[in-house]
């Protein structure tokens, strides 16, 4: 039997094939648990359950207060289970316990609480202007009704398993949809804990289904399944594009949160201490395995050298070590595969630019079997270089010189991505002028990484389609129905009929 089974139609269950796969602790390279390895048959079962729960079950029809209460209880239980969830998140996916407790669990819980509130407070009915056939003629009342979309297929990446699950599950559930959720295969455990919590609070069978297994089978089956009405995906641009293609034949609604190569622009009037810490926070938080990481620093030439040396100095103080130790700043990367990717890009970077710190694995002191890598900075990077254009998703910062704001903006925008960005400056008006010219979905001025459940998050260009979080993220799980209400039942009073009937 697997240590962790899938959750389908209100039951924890093995894969129909009986197969399972191992998930590893990236800090030690040791096996952590066996997880049920789902296939197409399991997706079929899950979609059938979600379909029943949506088409004939209580969830979409439930009183708003009652449904919100269950979503809210999920948030409260997640918060109450902080220790267990945070430990499991770190053991399965790396990162640090500080991040998992202060960031992951808090945000995951907060997103459930916020969407319970949105469901209660946002009206599902909205007035529309009266319809009038011609100016001057009396109008006929119209209104909008928001309704759940149906069965939502949801696929997430490995970098923030709990948070990514909350962004998908909470708005979908609050709005009355049913879901077939697939976590990244290497970090599936906490999503299964969320399924357990959904079960415990009494969310009806079939509303939440979690199918674990490889993207190539389980993910493909979800994205192409005729019983799925919407697909919500977070992951790489490459797979996101594939998801769109898989969803096309049955014209599913699609929202995508994809990759990024975000720029952090530093002006010459900046407080250098702030900029040095800020750019490192923007890049090296969670080893750069964050979609909105600011992995391209675009620095005004007047402060370039000073900032460079300050950043090197500070990067060297980051403590790499046991992710369960509260004193650790950087835990392991998520997997051997991710470590290989980072090593490959660093080799490319050494040819393209000047390596000024890191550039190798972190070893010794219990690190040797884990996937630890030193914070790495490249200087004198050209924005056309591979390390400036491609998403590495690791602790690698590319620093590019700019002569003025206009050039900095041009460099920032010269990317296929448009997810996020930052401006570090003491002059807020100047920073805002820069921010407004950057072609990305989120920009921080003198900050990085802050995302809140009330703030829409989405990508420009190849970083995505649609929005998550905020009211937009709630509406993204609803269809809009326009209802035209003519209360005049006299057949001779309907001028429109004359468009068809000549007499
Ligand atoms: P990935 O695209 O490899 O995988 C994401 C998910 O898709 C996983 O669950 C995977 O199993 C599944 N998958 C893989 N192939 C599939 C296929 N053919 N059909 C259906 N599903 C498939 O991404 P990853 O390596 O897990 O995560 C890193 C990427 O995610 C980065 O590009 C990062 O920028 C992006 N990301 C974006 C956001 C955002 O909000 N924009 C947030 C986090 C991560
Ligand atoms: Mn793992």
DSSP letter string over 450-495?
---TTS-B--EETTEES-BSHHHHHHTTEEEEEEE------GGG-G
* Closest CA to ligand 1's atom 31: 236
- Residue 431 sits at φ, ψ, to 5 deg, of -65, -40
Distance, CA of 57 to CA of 105 (rounded, Å)? 30
CB 381: neighbour CB atoms within 10 A?
Answer: 23
Closest-lying ligand 1 atom to the alpha carbon of residue 157: 26
Residue 298 has pLDDT above 90, yes or no: yes
The predicted structure's pLDDT at residue 137: 87
DSSP 8-class letter at 439: -
The predicted structure's pLDDT at residue 1: 85
Say yes or no: CB of residue 419 within 6 Å of ligand 1. Answer: yes
| Cα-to-centroid distance, 239 and ligand 1 (Å) | 6
| Cα-to-centroid distance, 238 and ligand 1 (Å) | 9
pLDDT band at 277 (very low <50, low <70, confident <90, very high): very high
User: Encoding tokens for residue 285?
Assistant: 């938080």
Q: Taking the CA atoms of 292, 294, 298 and 303 in sequence, report the sign of the dihedral they define.
A: positive
* Closest CA to ligand 1's atom 20: 219
Q: Report the interhelical angle of 161-174 vs 82-93 (nearest 10°).
A: 120
Distance, CA of 181 to CA of 43 (rounded, Å)? 10
- Residue 342 sits at φ, ψ, to 5 deg, of -60, -45
Q: Judge contact between 223 and 155, C-beta under 8 A.
A: yes
∠ at Cα 226 (224, 231), nearest 5°? 55
Span 419-448, average pLDDT: 98
Q: 160-172: per-residue pLDDT in tens?
A: 999 999 999 999 9
| Cα-to-centroid distance, 419 and ligand 2 (Å) | 26
* Closest CA to ligand 1's atom 38: 291
Residues with CB under 5 A from ligand 2 (ion): 23-24, 92, 186
Say yes or no: CB of residue 291 within 6 Å of ligand 1. Answer: yes
pTM over 0.95: yes
Task: Please tell me the total number of residues recorded for the chain in this structure.
Answer: 503
| Cα-to-centroid distance, 462 and ligand 1 (Å) | 14
pLDDT band at 407 (very low <50, low <70, confident <90, very high): very high
The predicted structure's pLDDT at residue 181: 99
Say yes or no: CB of residue 155 within 6 Å of ligand 1. Answer: yes
* Closest CA to ligand 1's atom 34: 259
Say yes or no: CB of residue 473 within 6 Å of ligand 1. Answer: no
- Residue 100 sits at φ, ψ, to 5 deg, of -65, -40
* Closest CA to ligand 1's atom 43: 291
Closest-lying ligand 1 atom to the alpha carbon of residue 236: 32
Residue in 465, 469, 463, 436 with CA at minimum distance from that of residue 451 = 469
Q: 71-105: per-residue pLDDT in tens?
A: 999 999 999 999 999 999 999 999 999 999 999 99
* Mutational test site, ligand 1, from 239, 393, 442, max ligand atoms within 8 Å of CB: 239
Residue 344 has pLDDT above 90, yes or no: yes
| Cα-to-centroid distance, 29 and ligand 2 (Å) | 9
Distance, CA of 188 to CA of 205 (rounded, Å)? 20
Instruction: Number of helices (H) and strands (E) in the chain: give both, helices first.
Output: 16, 22
Say yes or no: CB of residue 235 within 6 Å of ligand 1. Answer: yes
Which residues are the active-site residues? 257, 291
- Helix/strand/coil (H/E/C) assignment for every residue in 170-210: HHHHHCCCEEEEECCHHHCHHHHHHHHHHHHHCCCCCCEEE
Residue that wins the pLDDT comparison between 1 and 48: 48
Residue 134 has pLDDT above 90, yes or no: no
Q: Judge contact between 84 and 97, C-beta under 8 A.
A: no
CB under 8 Å to 319, separation ≥6 — which residues?
327, 328, 329, 330
* Closest CA to ligand 1's atom 28: 235
The predicted structure's pLDDT at residue 53: 99
The predicted structure's pLDDT at residue 498: 92
Span 290-296, average pLDDT: 98
Q: 99-110: per-residue pLDDT in tens?
A: 999 999 999 999
Ligand number with the minimum distance to the CA of 234: 1
Strand partners, 36: 20
Say yes or no: CB of residue 236 within 6 Å of ligand 1. Answer: yes
Distance, CA of 305 to CA of 20 (rounded, Å)? 52
∠ at Cα 203 (200, 207), nearest 5°? 130
∠ at Cα 319 (354, 100), nearest 5°? 110
* Closest CA to ligand 1's atom 23: 235
Q: 357-403: per-residue pLDDT in tens?
A: 999 999 998 999 999 999 999 999 999 999 999 999 999 999 999 99
Say yes or no: CB of residue 242 within 6 Å of ligand 1. Answer: yes
Distance, CA of 345 to CA of 134 (rounded, Å)? 63
CB 238: neighbour CB atoms within 10 A?
Answer: 11
Q: 313-324: per-residue pLDDT in tens?
A: 999 999 999 999
pLDDT band at 503 (very low <50, low <70, confident <90, very high): confident
CB under 8 Å to 174, separation ≥6 — which residues?
67, 68, 71, 115, 116, 118, 119, 474, 477
Q: 51-66: per-residue pLDDT in tens?
A: 999 999 999 999 999 9
User: What domains does the chain contain, in order, with CATH numbers?
Assistant: 6-132+139-258+463-482 (3.40.605.10), 263-445 (3.40.309.10)
């Amino acid at each position: 039997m697997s240590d962790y089974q899938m959750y389908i139609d209100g039951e924890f269950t093995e894969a129909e094939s009986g197969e399972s796969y191992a998930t590893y602790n990236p800090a030690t390279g040791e096996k952590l648990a066996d997880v049920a390895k789902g296939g197409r048959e399991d997706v079929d079962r899950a979609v059938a359950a979600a379909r029943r729960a949506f088409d004939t079950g209580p969830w979409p029809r439930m009183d708003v207060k009652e449904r919100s209460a269950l979503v809210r209880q999920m948030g409260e239980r997640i918060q109450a289970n902080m220790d267990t969830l945070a430990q499991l998140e770190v053991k399965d996916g790396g990162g640090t316990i500080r991040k998992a407790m202060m960031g992951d669990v808090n945000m995951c819980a907060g997103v459930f609480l916020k969407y319970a509130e949105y469901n209660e407070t946002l009206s599902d009915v909205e007035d529309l202007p009266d319809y009038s056939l011609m100016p001057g003629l009396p109008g006929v009342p119209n209104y909008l009704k928001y309704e759940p979309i149906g069965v939502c297929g949801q696929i997430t990446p490995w970098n923030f398993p709990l948070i990514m699950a909350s962004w998908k599950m909470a708005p979908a559930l609050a709005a009355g949809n049913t879901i077939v959720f697939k976590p990244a295969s290497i970090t599936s455990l906490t999503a299964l804990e969320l399924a357990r919590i959904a079960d415990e609070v009494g969310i009806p069978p079939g509303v939440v289904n979690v199918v674990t297994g490889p993207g190539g089978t389980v993910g493909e089956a979800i994205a192409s399944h005729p019983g799925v009405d919407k697909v919500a995906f977070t992951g790489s641009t490459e797979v996101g594009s594939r998801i769109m293609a898989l969803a096309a034949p049955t014209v599913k609604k699609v929202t995508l949160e994809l990759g990024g190569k975000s720029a952090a622009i530093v002006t010459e009037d900046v407080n250098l201490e702030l900029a040095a810490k800020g750019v490192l926070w923007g890049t090296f938080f969670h080893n750069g395995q964050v979609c909105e990481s600011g992995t391209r620093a675009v620095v005004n030439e007047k402060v370039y050298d000073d900032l460079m040396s300050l950043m090197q100095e500070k990067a060297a103080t980051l403590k790499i070590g046991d992710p369960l130790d509260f004193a650790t700043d950087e835990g392991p990367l998520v997997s051997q595969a991710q470590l290989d990717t980072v090593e490959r890009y660093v080799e490319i970077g050494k040819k393209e630019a000047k390596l000024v710190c890191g550039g190798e694995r972190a070893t010794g002191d219990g690190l040797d079997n884990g996937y630890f890598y030193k914070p790495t900075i490249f200087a004198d990077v050209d924005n056309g270089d591979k390390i400036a254009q491609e998403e590495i998703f690791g602790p690698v910062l590319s620093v590019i010189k700019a002569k003025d704001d206009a050039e900095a903006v041009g460099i920032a925008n010269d990317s296929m991505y448009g997810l996020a960005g930052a401006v570090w400056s003491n002059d807020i008006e100047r920073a805002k002028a820069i921010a407004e010219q950057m072609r990305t979905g989120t920009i921080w001025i003198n900050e990085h990484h802050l995302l809140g459940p009330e703030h829409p998050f989405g990508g420009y260009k190849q970083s995505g389609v649609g929005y998550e979080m905020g009211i937009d993220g709630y509406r993204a799980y609803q269809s809009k129905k326009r209802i035209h209400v003519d209360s005049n039942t006299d057949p001779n009073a309907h001028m429109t009929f004359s468009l068809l009937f000549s007499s």
